[in-house]
Amino acid sequence: MNLSLFDVPRETVALAEGAVVLRGFATGHDAALCEGVQGVLARSPWRHMITPGGFRMSVAMTNCGSLGWVSDERGYRYAAADPMTGEAWPAMPELFATLATEAAREAGYPYFAPDACLINRYEPGAKLTLHQDRNERDMDAPIVSFSLGLPAVFLFGGNKRSQPIRRIALVNGDVAVWGGESRLRYHGVMPLREGNHPLTGACRINLTFRKAG
């Protein structure tokens, strides 16, 4: 065991119908997950994608798995090849798939089989504006997200942009699962605050597992 001051005891928090946070679920695997990310980066480095509106995203991204999320002037979509290298995205590390499937099972989704893992890197000031995730084919599959490194304030809204928004702190090792009634809720991430985390330094990394194809 490598308990640190930053570790969080495990606890399941229900946010809404279909949405739960598994606090501390990945704490004991955080270093191995970061090593998996480094392996992905060796083949598909961080890049700031361009939104269809022409803006450079503040969050840096890469992917692993048979499909990867991409954005450019032509829109948002999933693609089998990394547009930066022309090669297939790196394979999803075994540990990633195992932990994501296990987290989904604990949250009540026993059949989750992710084919895409979007890896987001937040540096201080980076944010994700309120949006819905609707590029995936099967809206019955949940989305599973792992937080590593610096804490973030997650924004959890409703099914309409105008509905009230809750702020939820997500820290290293937290895993959130969003499915069922909550699958199409608006959500986002507040600008990251400066800080230093023993695992990631001055950033937050989020792994988002999806069944995209």
Does 71 contact ligand MD3 by CB under 6 A? no
3-state secondary structure of 213: coil
Phi-psi region of 140 (alpha: psi -120 to 50; beta: other; left: phi over 0): alpha
Instruction: Give the Cα separation of 148 and 33 in Å (integer).
Output: 8
Does 145 contact ligand MD3 by CB under 6 A? yes
Does 121 contact ligand MD3 by CB under 6 A? no
Contacts of 108 (CB under 8 A, 6+ apart): 20, 179
Instruction: Give the Cα separation of 111 and 79 in Å (integer).
Output: 23
Mask 171-210, x = binds ligand MD3 (CB under 6 A)? -----x-x---xx-x-x-x----------------x-x--
Residue whose CB is less far from ligand MD3, 27 or 183 = 183
For Fe ion, how many residues bind (rule: CB under 5 A)? 1
Within 79-138, which residues bind Fe ion (CB under 5 A)? 133
Q: Smallest distance from the beta carbon of 182 to ligand MD3, in angstroms? A: 5
Residues in the chain, total: 213
Answer yes or no: are the C-beta atoms of 174 and 23 closer than 8 Å.
Answer: yes
For ligand MD3, how many residues bind (rule: CB under 6 A)? 15
Q: Which does 185 bind (CB under 5 to 8 A by kind): ligand MD3, Fe ion, none?
A: ligand MD3
User: The tokens 């450079």 sit on which residue?
Assistant: 56
Q: Which does 210 bind (CB under 5 to 8 A by kind): ligand MD3, Fe ion, none?
A: none
Rg of the chain taking only CA atoms, in angstroms: 16
Binding footprint of ligand MD3 on the chain (CB under 6 A): 118, 120, 128, 133, 143, 145, 176, 178, 182-183, 185, 187, 189, 206, 208
